[in-house]
Amino acid sequence: MKQQMVKDETGKRKQHFLFLLPFVLCLLTLVTGCVQYDVGVNFESQTRGEIVQHIKLGERLTSFSSEILGDWLDSVELRVRSLDGKTKRLSEGEILVRIPFNNGAELEEKFNQFYNPVPTKKSRVATPLETDLPKFESHLKVKQNNLLLVLRNRLSLELDLRSISLLSANGNLIVSPGGLLELDFSLNTPWGAESIQTVPGAIAPEISDQGKQLVWKLKPGEINYLEAVFWVPSPVGIGAVIIALFVLAGIGLKYQLLPAMGIGHKTQKIPQT
């Protein structure tokens, strides 16, 4: 009796799987390589840098209604303009975003605001494509220490990509999240950067350009954490040191070098009584 019940349950599971198989194969076909998303943070100096984003939709997504796709790209451009950034459409489903920042605090604010916008009463209604695209949460933190001539920066990013994976009711993976989104995060600095791992499971980057560029291959379906330390020159500090050196040189020239050469030294006459 028990064997018969086990066989019946096994048969039902097989029938259930066979019923879902066309749906699973359809999903695997449709979502493969949907979105390619490259995010970069470029530090040029203490007071200048930009967030660069390259978004490329796969052919299957660009085959959607051109009106829906246009609305989604318009929404990206609107969000970028609100952060004083610029966009450039490279093709029908490809866009390049540049958002400038002046310091670490502004980088942190603009990055988090772009990926985690706060809804307001005047917020527009999301387009169908925005609703269908995978959502993820991110939190960027930048800590800066000014050491006069240089600025020490510690950048950390936590990116939750678990919502991208498609799971069944019992928690088994149905669609590989790597097929939904290809996401890279890069950091470019003038003097190079060093990846540090203070959290278990932190991602190690690929290093290029003599250490000036770090590229992390993020893992869809997981919580990604990365951290790096880098230094940038401080123009304000360097300028202050140069001014101080000129002042000291002027003092030395006036009170030591010139009197030793007999220049600028006047002999005081003693009045006769």
33: left (phi over 0), alpha (psi -120 to 50) or beta: left
pLDDT digits (tens, 9 = 90+) for 91-120: 877 899 999 999 999 999 999 998 876 655
Q: Which two tokens stand for residue 237?
A: 């500090």
Burial 172-209 (b: 16+ CB within 10 A, else e): eeebebebbbbbbbbbbbeeebebeeeeeebbebeeee
How many residues in total does the chain contain? 273
Contacts with 229 (C-beta within 8 Å, 6 or more apart), sequence order = 152, 153, 154, 155, 193, 194, 196
Cα–Cα distances in Å, from 226 out to 93, 149, 232?
29, 27, 19
pLDDT digits (tens, 9 = 90+) for 118-176: 655 555 555 554 554 555 678 999 999 988 788 899 999 999 887 665 444 454 444 44
Report the C-alpha gap between 41 and 49 in whole angstroms.
8
* Percent of the chain at pLDDT exceeding 90: 32
Give the pLDDT band of residue 81 (cuts 50, 70, 90).
very high
3-class secondary-structure state, position 191: coil
> Are 265 and 259 spatial neighbours (Cβ–Cβ below 8 Å)?
yes
Q: What pLDDT is recorded for position 92?
A: 79
Q: Which stretch of DSSP H or E encloses residue 142?
A: strand 137-146
Sort strands 48-57 and 35-45 into parallel, antiparallel or unpaired. Answer: antiparallel
Q: What pLDDT is recorded for position 254?
A: 73
- Judged against a pLDDT cut of 90, whether residue 52 lies above it is answered with yes
Instruction: Give me the chain's average pLDDT, please.
Output: 75
Q: What pLDDT is recorded for position 192?
A: 92
Q: 43: burial class by Cβ within 10 Å (0-12, 13-18, 19+)?
A: buried
Report the C-alpha gap between 187 and 108 in whole angstroms.
14
> Are 45 and 76 spatial neighbours (Cβ–Cβ below 8 Å)?
no
Give the pLDDT band of residue 229 (cuts 50, 70, 90).
very high
pLDDT digits (tens, 9 = 90+) for 173-198: 444 445 556 789 999 999 999 999 88
Q: What pLDDT is recorded for position 34?
A: 66
Give the pLDDT band of residue 247 (cuts 50, 70, 90).
confident
- Judged against a pLDDT cut of 80, whether residue 76 lies above it is answered with yes
Give the pLDDT band of residue 74 (cuts 50, 70, 90).
confident
- Judged against a pLDDT cut of 60, whether residue 255 lies above it is answered with yes
Contacts with 176 (C-beta within 8 Å, 6 or more apart), sequence order = 28, 165, 221
Q: In what order do the strands lie in the sheet with 213-217?
A: 86-91, 94-101, 48-57, 35-45, 181-188, 213-217, 206-208
Q: What pLDDT is recorded for position 175?
A: 45
Please name the amino acid found at residue 14. K
Q: What pLDDT is recorded for position 173?
A: 44
Residue with tokens 């995010």: 39
Ranked by mean pLDDT, the top range of 12-16, 54-58, 61-65, 230-234 is: 230-234
pLDDT digits (tens, 9 = 90+) for 212-226: 999 999 988 789 999
- Judged against a pLDDT cut of 80, whether residue 31 lies above it is answered with no
